[in-house]
Chains A and B, each alone.
Chain A
Amino acid sequence: MSFLLRCPQCGPREVYEFRWGGEQSRRPEPDAAGEAWTRYLYLRRNEAASQREWWYHRAGCRRWFLAVRDTRSNEVARTFWPASPEEPTA
């Protein structure tokens, strides 16, 4: 794994500068069924496709952002700040 990632703040950087934060998933509403929590906490879609995922620019601006990355080729289509107030818990 050696690709470049475009931090929305700092521009294209070595992937080693970042921490991967996992695929984006929506936190269940409070009092949701146990199954929904299980899915959120323990199950990953793990798709062989483009997915939205969290990245943290550890060696740079120290901010979290979202990236659309193809898990097969590591091609990153776009990166962006989490847009809406709900985004982090989404």
Chain B
Amino acid sequence: MSRLPAHPGQRIDRSRPIAFTFDGRAYTGFAGDTVGSALYAAGVRVFSRSFKYHRPRGLLCVRGYCANCLVNVDGVPNVRACTEPVRTGQRVVAQHAWPSLEHDALAVVDKLGFLLPVGFYYKTFIHPRRLWPMYERMLRTCAGLGRITFPDEPEGEYERANLFADVAVVGGGAAGMAAALEAARAGARVTLVDDQPELGGRWRYRTRERHVGDVVRDLAAEIAGDDRIRVLGEATAFGLYEDGLLGVLERHRFGRLRAGRVVVAAGMLEHPLVFENNDLPGVMLGGAAQRLAGLFGIAPGRASVVVVADERGVEVALDLRAAGVVVTALVDAREGADSAAVASLRDGGTTILRGSTVLAARGSGRVERAVIGDLAGNAACEMSCDLICVTVGAAPATALVAQAGGTLRFGADGNVAADALPAGVLVAGEVAGVEGLDGIVASGQLAGAEAALALVGGDIRLSRRIDELRDELASRPKRTHAPCPGVAPGRSSKRFVCLCEDVTDKDMKQAVTEGFDHLETLKRYTTVTMGPCQGKMCHRLSIEVCADLTGRTVEETGTTTARPPAQPVPLGALAARSADPWKLTPTHHQHVEAGAELMDMGAWKRPLRYTSVDEECRAVRETVGIIDVSTLGKLEVVGRDAATFLDWLHPNRFSDLAVGRARYRIMCDDAGIVLDDGIVARLADDRFLVTTATGTIDAVDQWLEWWLAGGGRCAHVANVTGSLAAVNVAGPRSRELLAGLTDVDLAPAALPYLGARTGRVAGVPSILLRIGFVGELGFEIHCPADYGEFMWSALLAAGAPLGIRAFGVEAQRVLRLEKGHVIVSQDTDALTTPFAAGLGALVHLDKPDFIGRDALRAAQTRPLAERLVGFEMADSATPPGEGAAIVADGRPVGRVTSAKRSGWLGRVIGLAWVPTALARHGATVEVRMNGATAPARVVLQPFYDPDGARVRS
């Protein structure tokens, strides 16, 4: 199909044809075309099938708003054809139609519409209740639009950006561009967000008034040359949040744009007219027809009926005529004398019908005739046409303002009352109620200057400029508020208010009859405005219909709450790849080289196992093993009051801890609940090393800082987790191993169990702690992180003759379970006191006040309902899952928190919470596993070395 003659506003490059396919057929468009424009130019009129009735739908808004042209592009569902650029080889496929768009089997639903009243599936499919799962499957198959195909590589599709600006301007039309330039001129850093490929808004494609296009192209050129202005093109500002945060989707980039001031200059939103078959392909918004002609050089039809209610609509008719479309009739809701523009149409042979509107569209699959009548609904004539252009009403695009909690209120002077706007938000151009290019530019300049003034402060020249612009704006025309009815008179079941969701005014009437007469409930029940257009086409219409049905005014009817997003955002964009840091210990690469299987522990990667867990365990029990414990949280607490601070933090005491000694710590909150455990080692009178669990370091650090906030204690906390590498050396021959590496006296008398020394290990200055978690003689070496690799290698080399093995987290968990050691937050939960966890000996209620004292004192006197105990399975060779139920008399009475198979002991052991009555050594309990129960025996002492002789050896 041929295109119109070239024009400066057009977006297409006719020298660059682009081939793509639609439903398997080959099409050719031009560079600059959208999928929608290229297909329309090739004669395609049906783009989709509707949500519920499977009615054919064609281009309506050509703006990326309505759902009429949703297609699947290269596997991505729900892409708007009218804004998606054509690319070579693109595969476009129609959605929601089978076997084809033109012949859709489910279109039969349209004929059976009377069976499917609003809310039909709540009513029809609820009885009998047991069949609901079947109904649901069936409905799910029919419902929805696009189908998701999951890509092989789900990541990497979208990226995230944090953007900043002094002034953010939304809308790249005349007002937005003027605002951006003015703000930049005043010294602000500006970001201009526009959803089109080039700036200019609707001014860009005015075909008849050349100077308008020139003015706007000049503004665009000026912006292109201004490096203080960043333009985000083809970007949608979908949300405006607190403190000037805009959510911006820019192709495949999800941006959080934080701005000091936000200027909303998004222009007007045209809405359709409700009449019979108003969804027939060929019924189009006036702006859509203008865009097809102005941007893409396409005559939107051959013969048109143009439905108008003001001079803006008459402009559309003139534009159509200029694009070579025969304007058969101008259907004007107004009475009265011809304006010059109307007269010119009449002279050109157009039938002018006053006080009229369109009552119905007729045609098979596309518009063939328009039924025209008076405003009371009496049909007067039918006219042949292939295009019904509707330009009856438009509303300011205020979604962002409304989301941010503001409203547009116009004062007596026709200007927007700023006090109803959200803080930091300004409006400009048509949103601000200004008409005509000159006024719109002035309005934009004023908003830009005011935004800049608010940021840079009282510059006298800027203030003067603002005064001038205010005067200038006052002299410009304001939009007169004569809202045109968006609903033509008539009765039919095919008068669509909401095209996305196939909601007719008849549906709404029925819903109101059923009692859903408040706009918010009406919306939820009928789903009007809840489709992909987010109410852009139907929000105003739904209010009007609701007002009419309930006998209220539009003002009384009110509006629904506006929430982001204003434009659909792919979930992939919201889940865009963000900073996802992970941490590697200083010895990480050695673990990888050794073939370790890694696991995630919080942000850390840790070796889970190297070779065989049993062999790793045996090495620790028989000779010596080493484990990288660099991930342990490590705090240094220093200061005059460090000891008393630690006393305050813990139920046990540290002020009496001798220098060179370490002590086990548990920490509780004021409710007496165990938060964390670890070790406190006193390195000097006023200096302690405190270790925490891997996952709790940040919380513990913050907990300590919180209790220090405000001063009053001479104690300081430094998180040294990352600066120290730590290795635990465990096993009967660990002393022998270290003796050859250190000058520290390791003799039991010199460095007893829970001793702490500083000295050199393998020549590296280290802290040496005689502690262990696995029940063997053990030493923990903390050294500067830079020496971590060296230390690890030195230990492995020195231990080779002894049969040393590195062991991972899995082996450590087995070994600690053999000792019955508790892991806080795995074996304990948010109700666990030290008494119930068997850690009561660490609670010293005779101390002065400490965190949790009163709660622990109360807890001590209460009988325990349940206790944490060890258990061993009688005959099961596989461990029960963590969380498995302990069963008594067929009822769950407890739960397993840890369970492992111990190769050393040759049986499955674990920890579990059981009722106190069952917490007897040797008591038999039942553990639920795989739907059956297996017997287990309660063990109230460590499974391995119950006297602790080995750790003290």
Contacts and interface: CB of A to CB of B under 8 A. Distances in A.
B863 interface: no
A27 B706 CA distance: 13
Nearest to B709: A64
Contacts of A83: 710
Contacts of B858: 34
B242 A63 contact: no
B711 A41 contact: no
Interface string A76-90: 000001111111110
Interface in A41-90: 41, 54, 56, 58, 62-65, 74, 81-89
B671 interface: yes
Given A3-B243, A37-B855, A19 B705 contact: no
Given A30-B849, A37-B670, A37-B855, A64 B243 contact: no
B256 to A, nearest CB: 8
20 contacts: A1-B242, A2-B241, A2-B242, A3-B243, A4-B258, A27-B670, A28-B854, A40-B670, A41-B670, A56-B706, A62-B701, A62-B705, A64-B705, A64-B706, A82-B710, A85-B710, A85-B712, A86-B710, A87-B709, A88-B708
Nearest to B719: A62
B702 interface: yes
B245 interface: yes
Contact of B706 (A28, A54, A85): A54
B706 A21 contact: yes
A30 B848 CA distance: 9
Contact of A3 (B242, B702, B855): B242
B503 to A, nearest CB: 33
B132 interface: no
A21 to B, nearest CB: 7
B707 interface: yes
Contact of B702 (A4, A19, A87): A19
B709 A37 contact: no
A31 B706 CA distance: 22
Interface residues of A, number: 33
A83 B711 CA distance: 8
A81 to B, nearest CB: 7
Interface string B234-246: 0000000111010
Interface in B686-722: 698, 701-702, 705-712
A10 interface: no
Nearest to A34: B858
Given A37-B854, A62-B705, A2 B710 contact: no
B243 A2 contact: yes
A54 B707 CA distance: 12
A58 B12 CA distance: 51
B853 interface: yes
Nearest to A76: B243
B3 to A, nearest CB: 45
Contacts of A30: 849, 853-854
Interface in B636-671: 670-671
A32 B241 CA distance: 44
A28 to B, nearest CB: 8
A65 B242 CA distance: 22
B240 to A, nearest CB: 10
A31 B854 contact: yes
Nearest to A81: B710
Given A56-B706, A86-B712, A88-B710, 12 more contacts: A2-B242, A4-B258, A32-B854, A34-B858, A58-B698, A62-B705, A63-B705, A63-B709, A85-B712, A87-B710, A88-B706, A88-B708
Contacts of A82: 709-710
